[in-house]
Chain A
């Protein structure tokens, strides 16, 4: 243990602890900006400088490891003056149109300015000296360099968490900026639109593209029937933007709030998540049968899940030779969109051209996915607008809804029923668990041999998880699987996707079925989720998701009455012609630069 003193209080910590962490142990707050719990130390904003007795310069608390006998002071005049200057300097290169900014009151720089730099501005405005343009090319987010303070959180996120490096630091000195390959627009580089950078940007330099006004317009248009779907991960995170602690489930209140906002029908993406399991599970079993029994050489294993649009874009760019391995199933969002303007329109006797389909997602890549040209199976744009969890919170605030005191209510019928299997789609390993619950039962006629249906080996925050399920006692039609071991792998965060894909490319992958989610922790850690997101917060959201699952009466996708109903009335059976038309898609090879 290392002993040191901070503001004259003694503390003992493990070697390797930073001064910042040691101070937090003493409940001494040191302001930070470029520091983020998910990312490596950068130490470049210098907001966290503190004074070390005997040192020539101030030290950055976030980057300095403790040493024996250190004597730290966090609040001396020297420190205060330096901090004030540093915040003023950052403000001088930041376009402060705060009252109009989407991040107003959610901006970390603004919070620091409030603490350290109120009153007269000291320094000259540098924004006017640069030619900045706003990159609006991506359908998922906008990049406004005039608000960038070069903390490089986005750059670290993209390289460390996602292994993409769509954005990187270019140039030096006064010309330094966060740029893309050849300074191309973000729509024309290898960017998966995952939004992890957006989630970590402390200012308004990277924000999701908002469609709030368009959604309001649709709601107030008497000719339009506006249906809204909510993704599983939204209900365990929305509360954070509305004053709740991380990990609070607000499903019922959220449904009531959506109703009060004026949506005509409140439906659940969980319904199509269950449908995804039926389609994807059947696809997997059919694929196994064709390969193992019929000797079909054209089909590839392992089969990859296709629910995460960030992951889809990743594989299209980086590993296009494995596109045949992807499940052809659309993501639950897009299945929902296709059905809303066909099945739902028929049932409700509505003109599909009058339906506006809105989805609330924990994700920015979903905005891109909805814009894909192939996502028009209904004859219309299947999903008209995608809002993030954060945007929904903004709408709830705009409407003046007292969220905390809302009564809970239930989703509307037809496409609103869901099971626990669908809810866990929101966490890494969830799709796998849901698929196994159903596939095992299809093959053996029995429930998966795990207590309470909780397939714990696929849960948790490990980057790459592997699980093997032995299939025994098959029904006659699945006899070829008797005694087989179904090998699965689960990855979350594209850095782990990359690990898995390398293994697959090297031919060292033993798996049959692989689930990959683009964001750390799965959708609960998505780019559209409330800010901040950290490992601690992701774990709380994950816990909430699994508790939501356990509180459901139905916990297996094939038991969802709406799913059973739609197959009976509309689709026939899983992987039928009708479902291929509406629920399946194809992929496009993209450049790796």
Chain B
């Protein structure tokens, strides 16, 4: 079972806008499209694969995305969002979480998380230009290579994938 680099099955925690949330054992290597057919509510806009430090996959990429090291790796968290959700709120929630949960030791993570959070808030309110998001994307890159541990290094995953795929939702 599974595929070349992602063998066997894995336990998944399925949550969010799904009619049947719960813990499921699924085969690795399945496409996100198949996953959404199985667990979606017919209106799935995006799936956050791998939790707050994972990647956000938008509807248009479901078919081309494989769950596993060939596509998006995950610890098992799968969150589904339907079109009633604001991806700004999703991102804000994640950044709020990271700003709080960063241990605070290293600069890129401690200050970087606060900057990302405050930055998207200001963009949303129109207090800074929407192009400020580009600066924040560069900051996310720095955090990825310069933070001391995996937490700070992976904050940029959700940030980049949400901002790149749902930019208009962050700005307007």
Contacts and interface: CB of A to CB of B under 8 A. Distances in A.
A173 B145 contact: no
Given A85-B139, A124-B119, A172 B104 contact: yes
B34 interface: no
Given A46-B146, A124-B119, A86 B108 contact: yes
A152 B105 CA distance: 9
B146 A58 contact: yes
Contacts of A44: 105-107, 148
A85 B138 contact: yes
Interface stretch (A87-95, A320-328, A564-572): A87-95
Interface string A53-69: 00011101000000000
A377 B103 CA distance: 51
A150 B111 CA distance: 10
Contacts of A124: 115, 118-119, 122, 128
B146 A82 contact: yes
Nearest to A57: B145
Nearest to A34: B107
Size band of the B side of the interface?
20 to 34
Interface in B147-167: 147-148, 153
A123 B110 CA distance: 14
B53 to A, nearest CB: 15
Interface string A191-229: 000000000000000000000000000000000000000
Contacts of A174: 99-100, 102, 104, 110, 113-114
Interface string B133-147: 001001101101111
A546 B107 CA distance: 43
A168 to B, nearest CB: 13
Interface string A145-187: 0000110100000000000000001011111100000000000
Given A92-B111, A126-B111, A173 B106 contact: no
B112 A46 contact: no
B111 A93 contact: yes
B104 A90 contact: no
A176 B112 CA distance: 14
B99 A173 contact: yes
B145 A58 contact: yes
Contacts of B114: 93, 126, 129, 174
A303 B115 CA distance: 56
B164 to A, nearest CB: 19
A564 to B, nearest CB: 59
A45 interface: yes
Nearest to A170: B104
A43 B110 CA distance: 14
Interface in A9-58: 42-47, 49, 56-58
A81 interface: yes
B106 to A, nearest CB: 5
B103 A172 contact: yes
B93 to A, nearest CB: 15
A2 interface: no
A126 B99 CA distance: 12
Size band of the A side of the interface?
35 or more
A404 interface: no
A173 B102 CA distance: 4
A122 interface: yes
A78 interface: yes
A124 B119 CA distance: 7
Contacts of A47: 107
B101 interface: yes
A150 B141 CA distance: 22
A289 B101 CA distance: 64
B108 A171 contact: no
Interface string A106-141: 000000000000000011101001000000000000
Given A46-B146, A122-B135, A150 B104 contact: yes
Given A44-B105, A81-B138, A129-B118, 13 more contacts: A46-B147, A89-B112, A93-B114, A124-B119, A149-B107, A150-B105, A150-B107, A169-B104, A172-B104, A173-B100, A173-B110, A174-B104, A174-B110
24 contacts: A46-B107, A49-B146, A57-B146, A57-B147, A58-B146, A81-B141, A85-B139, A85-B142, A86-B108, A86-B142, A89-B108, A89-B139, A90-B107, A92-B111, A92-B115, A129-B118, A169-B104, A172-B100, A173-B98, A173-B100, A173-B102, A173-B104, A175-B100, A175-B104
